[in-house]
Amino acid sequence: MTSQHQRVLSGMRPTGALHLGHYHGVLKNWIKLQHEYECYFFVADWHALTTHYEDPGDIAGSVWDMVVDWLAAGITPGEARLFIQSRVPEHAELHLLLSMFTPLGWLERVPTYKDQQEKLKERDLATYGFLGYPLLQSADILIYRAGLVPVGEDQVVHVELTREVARRFNYLYGREPGFEDKAEAAVKKMGKKGAKLYTQLRRAWQERGDGEALDKARALLEAQQNISIGDRERLFGYLDGGGKVILPEPQPLLTPAPRMPGLDGQKMSKSYGNTIGLREDPESVTRKLRTMPTDPARVRRSDPGTPEKCPVWAFHGVYSDDATRAWVQEGCTTAGIGCLDCKQPVIDAVLAEQAPIRARAQEYLEKPDTVRAIVAEGIDDARQVARDTLEEVRQVMGLSYR
Ligand code: TRP
Ligand code: SF4
């Protein structure tokens, strides 16, 4: 069994074709993680609907494209589970249940709430659904009891909110009469050695704040084969006092800021119109790179330039080796090479990077049934985990009528 702290969950909103910025930022990271953790990656179609409820057709059109993009980039179905949020309705039920005890102020204070309303002025985001956006995200994460959530900088606040919601949930519903006695009984079930070690580590954490001991105690609990889920939760909670940990607090796994520049030197982003599509056709990619701006001081071929003032130089930073970069420095500052000469190695490298991605995408586009089957399987796996969590949540919230 892979432990819940090893479970990774992340989602992406289907709002258009992915570009090389997504590839170098998010996807390469996911591809690495899928070999290290039990990964769940999903298309956040409900999240897209919170802002694009007036044009749902755009979302539907992007969902399958996005899955194809992921697969083409190298997400492996055997390694990661891929699914679509709205096909796992358990997210929605958990969202509703979390909403019962989440103070309005927590949501109103999330900075993305006001920021996005400002940014997307043309859309009316004074809606109930949009206010709930980060709580829906909390449900996405907590329903899998994910330990790690790979996100960009802007999303860290949402993971932090999730931690607060989890803490409040455990506080409200993790209490049970006789908790201490039950926890002590659970300690004994670990066997002599395990019990002794747990007790020592717990003391080291509670008396001296030894964080390493806490980590070790958690690892010890995860490795236990013989205790029930309920006892495991008690023992997790007992480390901190409190009660059972039914919904563990996730950690953000900050995605390193993408080094990928856009065609104009700003960060690559759809809203700046400076992107290269993940599987854009080679002619178009070549044309975009050949016409992209260079150091404005290099008006004529004979004018020397400054690479640091040129967006092409940023591309060399991503795609070129030291020798090529030295060649650019020398050639640009002495007017020894022209800008088209300078761009050629970048063009070659981008096309080479995209060739296998494009080929894989083509394969999947020719076999839409395969893509659907991959997602169907991901949905099945996701629902199994989600149902287990929800059953427990219903139970402690007094909703399991039988
Ligand atoms: N809000 C995220 C974004 O815009 C997408 C998302 C939805 C997500 N649910 C999630 C990311 C859960 C991580 C975990 O990028
Ligand atoms: Fe930019 Fe290269 Fe032209 Fe220099 S030679 S201005 S680095 S494109």
**CATH code for position 334:** 1.10.240.10
Same domain, 13 and 125: yes
Count: domains in the chain: 3
pLDDT at 2: 41
- Asked if 137 and 98 count as a contact pair (C-beta separation under 8 A), the reply is no
Specify the pLDDT at position 176: 82
- 271: in domain: no
Contact 297, 280 (CB under 8 A): no
Let me know if residue 302 belongs to a domain.
Answer: yes
Residue 274 lies in a domain: no
Please indicate, yes or no, whether residues 34 and 102 belong to a single structural domain of this protein: yes
- Both 190 and 300 in one domain: the answer is no
Q: Are 109 and 216 part of one and the same domain?
A: no
Q: Specify the pLDDT at position 1.
A: 34
Q: In whole angstroms, what is the distance from residue 260 CA to residue 275 CA?
A: 10
Tokens 């139970």 identify what position?
A: 395
CA–CA separation, 300 vs 339, rounded Å? 10
In a domain, 401, yes or no: no
Pocket test for ligand 1, best of 9, 66, 158 (most atoms within 8 A of CB): 158
Closest among 133, 12, 134, 23 to 84, alpha carbons compared: 12
From ligand 2's centre to the CA of 301, what distance in Å? Answer: 10
Q: Which tens digit of pLDDT belongs to each residue from 5-40? A: 589 999 999 988 899 999 999 999 999 999 999 999
| pLDDT value of position 363 | 97
Is 158 found in the same domain as 32?
Answer: yes
For residue 379, the number of C-alpha atoms closer than 13 Å in the C-beta half-sphere is: 14
pLDDT at residue number 120: 87
pLDDT at site 15: 83
CA of 307 to the centre of ligand 1 (A): 36
Could you tell me if the CB of 328 is within 6 A of ligand 2?
yes
C-beta 151 within 6 A of ligand 1: yes
- pTM equals 0.89
Task: Reduce the DSSP state of residue 299 to 3 states and report it.
Answer: coil
137 lines ligand 1 (CB under 6 A): yes
* Among protein residues, the one whose CA lies closest to atom 7 of ligand 2: 307
Do both 189 and 83 map to the same domain?
A: no
Residues of the domain holding 225:
179-240
Q: Is the CB of 258 under 6 A from ligand 2?
A: no
Using CA atoms, how far apart are residues 212 and 201, in angstroms rounded to an integer?
A: 9
Atom 4 of ligand 2: nearest residue by CA position:
332
Residues 169 and 190 in one domain: no
The low-confidence residues of the chain, meaning pLDDT below 50, are 1-4
Question: HSE-up of 160 (CA within 13 Å, CB side)?
Answer: 13
How would you write 85-104 as a 3-class SS string?
A: HHHCCHHHHHHHHHHCCCCH
Clarify whether residues 289 and 381 are in a common domain: no
Please state, in angstroms and rounded to a whole number, the distance separating the CA atoms of residues 12 and 22: 10
Are residue 22 and residue 138 in the same domain, yes or no?
Answer: yes
The neighbour count for residue 378, using CB atoms within 10 Å, is 23
Query: Do 185 and 204 sit in the same domain of this protein?
Result: yes
